[in-house]
Amino acid sequence: MPELLAQQSNDFFMKDHQAIVNPVMSHQLLAVLMLALGVLTSLMACRRESEISMESLYGRWDIARAERNMKETHYLDGGYFDFRPDGQMIVNLTGAEENGAYILEGSVIEMEDGRQFEVKKLQQDSLFIRFNPSAESQFHIVLIKDHGRPQ
């Protein structure tokens, strides 16, 4: 009998304890789950924005604005990039067309001659590229998609 009384007493206190602790723990657990879901959603959104595919580059992109060493330059006016589905690209940065194969690795477009163009941001109609032709020069280039030309 004393054992039964002890068990009932223990059950009584445990139920009261659970009634007090469970709402607090459930609110904390809910807060942690909501925070984790928010972080996961943010990471997934960032990942989707940063993914670049060859297909998203296809077509001609006209240079709209360029900066050299953080100062606006008109040196690249009239320039463009033209990405082809066959893995070839045409670049006109200096007034002369240059053709060559290219590959996309992550956010870096690399031409067969070794030139690398880092894609900083890609949207449906705009492309932001950083290009370092030498240790002394860094270009930030804004390109606009030319929808008037076939891809």
What pLDDT score does 78 carry? Answer: 95
Contact 104, 54 (CB under 8 A): yes
> What is the pLDDT, as a whole number, of residue 98?
95
Average pLDDT, the chain: 81
Q: What is the pLDDT of residue 39?
A: 53
Nearest-CA neighbor of 59 among 38, 77, 81?
81
pTM: 0.66
- Answer with the residue of higher pLDDT: 3 or 85: 85
